[in-house]
Amino acid sequence: MQVILDTIEYGAQIKKTPVVVGNCTGFAVNRVFFPYTQAACMLVDLGLDPYMIDMVILKGFGMPMGPFRYLLSYYTILYYATLYHFIYYVFAVLLVVALAIVMFAFIGLQMLYIDDLPSLLQSLLL
């Protein structure tokens, strides 16, 4: 209990409003973020500009960013992470294919000069 009281006191010292919640993942964030994002989307449906909504939330409510900027930054990070993995795996597959082509070309050239298959296999194993 003393930890909670100390945390509340520290939050007041740094001019933040601490919220005591139950012990579950994302409880406070979900209770705040989803309703205000849903309200912002309804305002866009009514014809308001998303940029203006973000500016009002930023300046009027003291949030670090509006819901549309947050979602844009989230999907930008997701895009770059996906692109990185896609490029990584594509180049890995291309490298494997290139090595296989080189190996089969080498084996094919060896087959032209070596008529005896057991000696070819023996040379590959060495």
Gap between the Cα atoms of 54 and 44, Å rounded:
11
pLDDT tens column, 52-76: 888 888 888 877 888 888 887 777 7
- The b/e string for 17-44 (b: 16+ C-beta within 10 A; e otherwise) is eeeeeeeeeeeeeeeeeeeebeebeeee
Longest dimension (CA), the chain: 86
pLDDT tens column, 7-51: 889 988 998 888 887 777 667 677 777 888 888 889 999 999 988
What backbone torsions phi and psi does residue 79 show, to the nearest 5 degrees?
A: -60, -50
52: left (phi over 0), alpha (psi -120 to 50) or beta: alpha
Q: Please state the domain extents for the chain.
A: 72-126
pLDDT level of residue 112 (50, 70, 90 thresholds): low
Gap between the Cα atoms of 42 and 35, Å rounded:
10
Gap between the Cα atoms of 53 and 47, Å rounded:
11
